[in-house]
Amino acid sequence: MSEFEKETLVNCFRKNDGPKARNTDKFRSKHAHYYEEAFSHLKTEVTSLLEIGINRGGSIKAWRDFFVNATIYGIDIRRVPVERCEGEERIFSHQIDIGDINVLTKWAEDKEFDIVIDDGSHYNIHQIIAFEVLWPRINPGGYFVIEDTRVSWDLDRIKPGYPILEDYINKLIKPITRSTGDILQMTIRPNMVVFRKKRIKEPTIEDPTLWGPIRPPE
């Protein structure tokens, strides 16, 4: 078996990129290489994944091909991308406006996700609404990824009344460093921010017994 034929996550993106290499930007943007590094050990463990932004449907199908036990959800504000994934095995696509917090909340209220990928409009208002609504639906130990953050700094992506993404993320840093919230880790990568949720019995500063003694007894 050649390297290309192996069912790695990178190759799943390659396979679904289409003959003109435009069905998904995950491989070209190098996101696929990070996902391979971060998620390859979860191939059989992930049971539910949501991607915001379907576009041509390539990445939705790649997630399905790699995570063999997962139900894959895709949401998009446009009808045509939603239709591209209809009838696909283990894929459920829905037309939803992320900017409508009530609609998104209602849709997500009976769902739980191991991974959420935000590759939607990249507007600050949509990114913040998505995180606020969907983070509580992430399973312990799960991930929330905000892609293409370089686009989020463009002035035309910043809607008045909501903080820019940088300021919103900065407000999340203090609870993480003090271990007072449910975010275990925030990873800043080129063009991407990744949050990981604490597990139920994750060690915390407030419960040092889970860490063991700072120094061994004399």
Cβ atoms 106, 94 nearer than 8 A: no
Return the bridge partners of 185, or none.
Answer: 196
User: Residue 99, class by beta-carbon neighbours within 10 Å (0-12 exposed, 13-18 middle, 19+ buried)?
Assistant: middle
Q: Which residues does the annotation mark as catalytic?
A: 122
CA 156 to chain centre: 23
Our CA dihedral for 80, 85, 91, 93, rounded to 10 degrees, sits at 10
Our CA dihedral for 60, 105, 103, 116, rounded to 10 degrees, sits at -10
